[in-house]
């Protein structure tokens, strides 16, 4: 959630309701399990959770009785009371709660708040009490428990979570719940979750034969099936067309490089934890590449450059490898092998605004094509306290380039929000949050400014005055990675892709075996016209073949029987349920090719 949106949420009544519901849930759990150790219970985007160290695993039946007890507590109208205490008092209050004592120590030292997040300064230590429950908490809460609508709460799930998110710590039990102002809001949210389950890209990816994972290959390393391969080809074709129009040139780079390259770029040690361990060959360490930029810098620097050549835009769908933690891997959204819609643009300072906004314009074109109506562009800034550690140590250039991005976005009339301490290590960036048709949020694309690496690599061009000048570099990936983009598109379209993106355009369905030869002839003609087609020549009945094609979400089904074979026509069934009988095949081809060539949203 963008920082500005998060702040608005924290100031809202809904945040207070959910925070208070988390405390009520914790009270109910401790009543059933007095020996339990409790940790933290924050509100999150659509609800709340609380982590516990419990004597036994919980079941669905446990959730039911905890939820029932929560409603009883809510009905009691217990007041939430805040009290500021000293560290000594806090230690006494929570003397039997080791996780709370750990948090109190962090608060006392001024290092961490009650949720385990780092703090800039030492805070007050406060507790909140209601009924029999006391928690280490900074608030805020509702006035009393009756402000929580008992018909608008629901416990959702049980999960595991490491204390402080560290795999070295103990695994805790996390209870998730949701709370809303009204029962109708809860009902709408639950309906949206049901729709989201149907659209889950992991489920659809398997059903539509897009991708799989195999244990012997490894976690986070997807295998693309033929249908997924088609989608990748279509996305690359789209990117190439758009980028060629915009003056990009394409390059290719190897999958690994010497350690020296990543030391030179500065990614080591900044990025070391996200890289696979090195392999040593003939006394030299090599890393599989986590990004393409160092190699693109080498390409730019491979010969003398003049201002007359700038801007230079190098594009590559390069495969990169990043060691994401096992617990953070998620379908196609968080992977260890990714094919990135990458490009690096080298320009002079006076060309920067036009180049940067050219990328933003590309975003908007893609949003229009894919029907993305809701999005937020976030300017991610550096954090001053991270200079020299998390960020390149040059405050002057940080402020200068951040101002350049801010000015470009403002001049271009593009709304944006700002997020402190979320920049890349080498410069500010615009991150793009998008929402699918059912309102699910995704982090998709990025547009980054790099004021550091061109200098590190000694990249220069000869300016108009005959003096060497270091270019600015813009890193951009409007279509993200194949993995994340296809994961998003699966959920956005629920697998009902526009015709141009569908792995299979046409399924030809003969009514009897007597029409198999005619069906095969149609497939050959369609393929010659660049239309992806197959024929179902199985022994199944026609209705079963149609049902199978519908399950695979094929846009066009051409049913052919004796009449169609004799007349040289087809009967069309469209994925949306519409039908047209006895269409000349040539007419169908013209209309289908038009939809594909235009990348049209409409089916037929």
pLDDT of 274-291, one tens digit each? Answer: 999 999 999 999 999 999
Q: Which of 29, 66, 67, 77 has its CA nearest to residue 153?
A: 67
C-alpha to C-alpha distance for 38 and 135, rounded to whole angstroms: 9
Question: What average pLDDT does the chain have?
Answer: 93
Question: What is the per-residue pLDDT for 422?
Answer: 87
Architecture category of domain 3-190 in CATH: 2-Layer Sandwich (3.30)
Query: How far lies 264's CA from each of 127, 346, 369, 394, in Å?
Result: 50, 18, 39, 17
C-alpha to C-alpha distance for 319 and 197, rounded to whole angstroms: 30
Domain residue limits, the chain: 3-190, 207-492, 499-598
Question: What is the per-residue pLDDT for 159?
Answer: 94
C-alpha to C-alpha distance for 505 and 555, rounded to whole angstroms: 6
pLDDT of 519-559, one tens digit each? Answer: 999 999 999 999 999 999 999 999 999 999 999 999 999 99
Provide the CB-side half-sphere exposure for 112 (13 A, CA).
15
Q: Could you give the angle at which helices 585-598 and 516-528 cross, rounded to 10 degrees?
A: 40
Question: What is the per-residue pLDDT for 120?
Answer: 57
- Residue 551 CB burial class (10 angstroms; 0-12, 13-18, ≥19): exposed
C-alpha to C-alpha distance for 574 and 328, rounded to whole angstroms: 40
- CATH annotation of 499-598: 3.40.50.800
Provide the CB-side half-sphere exposure for 444 (13 A, CA).
25
The residues of the chain scoring below 50 in pLDDT are 2
**Are residues 251 and 297 in contact, defined by beta-carbon separation less than 8 angstroms?**
no
Count of C-beta atoms within a 10 Å radius of residue 131: 17
Say which DSSP state 470 is in.
P
Question: What is the per-residue pLDDT for 5?
Answer: 54
Question: What is the per-residue pLDDT for 114?
Answer: 52
Q: The tokens of 423 are what?
A: 């920049």
Find all residues with CB under 8 Å of 556, minimum gap 6, and list them: 499, 505, 506, 507, 572, 573, 574, 575, 588, 592, 604
pTM summary value? 0.83
Question: What is the per-residue pLDDT for 9?
Answer: 63
Backbone angles phi, psi at 480, to 5 degrees: 55, -135
Question: What is the per-residue pLDDT for 528?
Answer: 97
C-alpha to C-alpha distance for 461 and 292, rounded to whole angstroms: 21
Question: What is the per-residue pLDDT for 75?
Answer: 97
Question: What is the per-residue pLDDT for 116?
Answer: 55
- CATH annotation of 207-492: 3.30.930.10
Question: What is the per-residue pLDDT for 100?
Answer: 95
Count of all residues that appear for the chain in the document? 604
Backbone angles phi, psi at 446, to 5 degrees: -150, 150
C-alpha to C-alpha distance for 544 and 540, rounded to whole angstroms: 6
Question: What is the per-residue pLDDT for 311?
Answer: 97
Question: What is the per-residue pLDDT for 314?
Answer: 98
Question: What is the per-residue pLDDT for 345?
Answer: 97
**Are residues 366 and 479 in contact, defined by beta-carbon separation less than 8 angstroms?**
yes
């Amino acid at each position: 959630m963008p920082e500005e949106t998060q702040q608005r949420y924290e100031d809202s009544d809904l945040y207070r309701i959910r925070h208070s519901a988390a405390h009520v849930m914790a009270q109910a759990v401790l009543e059933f399990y007095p020996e339990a150790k409790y940790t933290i219970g924050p509100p999150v985007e659509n609800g709340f959770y609380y982590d516990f160290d419990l004597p036994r695993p919980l079941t669905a039946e446990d959730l039911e009785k905890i939820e029932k007890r929560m409603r009883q507590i809510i009905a009691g109208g217990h007041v939430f009371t805040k009290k500021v205490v000293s560290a000594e008092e806090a230690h006494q209050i929570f003397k039997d709660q080791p996780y709370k004592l750990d948090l109190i120590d962090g608060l006392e030292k001024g290092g961490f708040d009650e949720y385990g997040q780092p703090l800039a300064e030492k805070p007050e230590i406060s507790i909140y009490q209601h009924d029999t429950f006391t928690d280490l908490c900074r608030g805020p809460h509702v006035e009393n428990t009756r402000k929580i609508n008992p018909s608008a709460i629901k416990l959702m799930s049980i999960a595991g979570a490491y204390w402080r998110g560290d795999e070295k710590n103990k695994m805790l039990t996390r209870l998730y719940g949701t709370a809303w102002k009204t029962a109708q809001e809860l009902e709408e949210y639950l309906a949206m979750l049901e729709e989201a389950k149907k659209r889950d890209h992991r489920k659809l990816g398997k059903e539509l034969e897009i991708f799989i994972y195999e244990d012997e290959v490894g976690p986070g390393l997807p295998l693309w099936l033929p249908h997924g391969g088609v989608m990748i080809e279509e996305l690359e074709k789209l990117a190439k067309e758009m980028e060629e129009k915009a003056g990009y040139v394409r390059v290719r780079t190897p999958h690994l490089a010497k350690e020296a390259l990543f030391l030179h770029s500065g990614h080591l040690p900044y990025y070391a934890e996200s890289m696979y361990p090195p392999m040593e060959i003939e006394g030299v360490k090599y890393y599989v590449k986590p990004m393409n930029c160092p190699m693109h810098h080498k390409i730019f620097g491979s010969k003398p450059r003049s201002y007359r050549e700038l801007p230079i835009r190098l594009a590559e769908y390069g495969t990169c490898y990043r060691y994401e933690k096992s617990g953070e891997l998620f379908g196609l959204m968080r992977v260890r092998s990714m094919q990135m819609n990458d490009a690096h643009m080298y320009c002079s300072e006076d060309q920067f605004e036009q180049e940067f906004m050219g990328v933003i314009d590309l975003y908007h074109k893609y949003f229009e094509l894919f029907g993305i109506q809701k999005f937020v562009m976030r300017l991610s800034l550096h954090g001053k306290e991270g200079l020299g550690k998390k960020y390149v140590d040059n405050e002057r250039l940080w402020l200068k380039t951040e101002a350049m991005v801010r000015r470009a976005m403002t001049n271009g009339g593009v709304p944006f929000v700002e997020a402190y301490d979320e920049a890349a290590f080498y410069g500010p960036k615009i991150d793009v949050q998008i929402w699918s048709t059912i309102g699910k949020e995704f982090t998709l694309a990025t547009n980054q400014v790099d004021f550091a690496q061109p200098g590190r690599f000694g990249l220069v061009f000869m300016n108009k005055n005959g003096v060497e000048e270091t270019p600015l570099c813009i890193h951009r990936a409007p279509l993200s990675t194949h993995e994340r983009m296809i994961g998003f598109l699966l959920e956005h379209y629920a697998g009902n892709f526009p015709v141009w993106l569908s792995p299979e355009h046409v399924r030809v369905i003969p009514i009897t075996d007597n029409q198999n030869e005619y069906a095969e002839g149609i497939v050959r003609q369609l393929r010659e016209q660049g239309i992806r087609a197959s024929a179902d020549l199985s022994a199944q009945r026609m209705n079963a073949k149609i049902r199978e094609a519908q399950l695979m979400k094929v846009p066009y089904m051409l049913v052919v029987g004796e009449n169609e074979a004799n007349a040289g026509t087809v009967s069309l069934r469209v994925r949306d349920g519409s039908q047209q009988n006895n269409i000349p095949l040539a007419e169908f081809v013209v209309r289908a090719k038009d939809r594909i060539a235009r990348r049209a949203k409409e089916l037929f």
